[in-house]
Amino acid sequence: MIIGVPKEIKNHEYRVGLTPGNVAEFMHHGHKVIVEHNAGDAIGFSNEDYVTVGAEIVPTAKDVFDQADMIIKVKEPQPDECKMLKKGQLLFTYLHLAPDPLQTKLLLESGCTAIAYETVTDNEGRLPLLTPMSEVAGRLSIQAGAHCLEKAQGGSGVLLGGVPGVKSAKVVVIGGGVVGLNAIRMAIGMEAHVTVLDKSLNRLRELDDYFGPKLNCIFATKDNLEKYVQEADLVIGAVLVPGAAAPKLVTKEMIKSMRKGSVVVDVAIDQGGCFETSKPTTHQEPTYIVDEVVHYCVANMPGAVARTSTVALNNATLPFALALANKGYKKAMAEDKHLKNGLNVHEGALTSEPVALALGLPYVNADKALGLVNNTHTEMA
């Protein structure tokens, strides 16, 4: 199989789909890898590094899309990239289709087969290809939030951990999953006063056992959300409904009730955001202000630490990518239901039910779309 690695083109996105080390793995299995010129240069993976392990460097993204059987990326394809995809071609990357009707439309029109990192599952029901970036984003959310609290950034001028004689900031984390856990670790490490809200009592018990009295664990009712958001200096939105649009848990009224210069960081923005006032921002212009509250809603947060993120992501994606290359996508997904759960689009059919529900589009079961069962039919989600 010919594996193609284009250079990412989203604003300030420096991650790359394959590291030279992972290219070497594909070469070892007898595949050919083509890499766009300088695809990894910004994070220290030079053209020479790729050539040394056997990759071929091509001048443009068009060369990659024209030649490759499978495209391995990091971020969702931008419109110009979607238009280069074609029937029979495999795309393996983050997609986040639920809040993105244009990308969904273009992928369906392309006829390609698109597998989303964020909906691949494992035996424990987790999302193993989303986990490394959730870990990065959770840790970054506190770093970014602490910076936004600085007065020069529009914040209230509060130091997260305070100093002797001055109280520490109040950090509220909404959602106790992978993002939330990592945000909590960083916030406690910086000596903030930390509260987590989650609707799962079992998860709250786990977090309480892990962090003890350093963490305030609160059940997530609307009343509790209103109370703790209003009192917070920094709120981290860390909720996830796999593959679907994020629920709008923090209302405009809650934002308006917060103190001037408070900060909200919406890590769920890739799935539409969990604050009513959220809109996607970029690393170039990461923040905006609503009702005197600073909003940080960067849609590719892990791109800020692109080298760490690239290596972490490659560690997780390699086994799945190799299975697709070695077996072909149809056999690989027939043998691995967790990889099949990653299938979002196949030859004009939308195979992710949460995306279909979010966008009001027809849904086709993945088995039927792939021809793994007879009598395919389309259902309205």
Residues 5 and 156: their CA atoms lie apart, in Å, by 43
Order of strands across the sheet with 90-93? 56-58, 32-36, 2-5, 70-72, 90-93, 113-116, 343-346, 349-350
Q: Whole-prediction pTM value?
A: 0.86
How does pLDDT run along the chain (381 residues), one tens digit per residue?
A: 999 999 999 888 999 999 999 999 999 999 999 999 999 999 999 999 999 999 999 999 999 999 999 999 999 999 999 999 999 999 999 999 999 999 999 999 999 999 999 999 999 989 999 999 999 999 999 999 999 999 999 999 999 999 999 999 999 999 999 999 999 999 999 999 999 999 999 999 999 999 999 999 999 999 999 999 999 999 999 998 777 788 999 999 999 999 999 999 999 998 899 999 999 999 999 999 999 999 999 988 999 999 999 999 999 999 999 999 999 999 999 999 999 999 999 999 999 999 999 999 999 999 999 999 754 444 444
Distance of CA 297 to the CA centre of its chain: 13
Residues annotated as part of the active site: 96, 270
Q: Are 154 and 249 contacting, i.e. CB atoms less than 8 angstroms apart?
A: no
Residues 4 and 70: their CA atoms lie apart, in Å, by 6
Q: Are 237 and 209 contacting, i.e. CB atoms less than 8 angstroms apart?
A: no
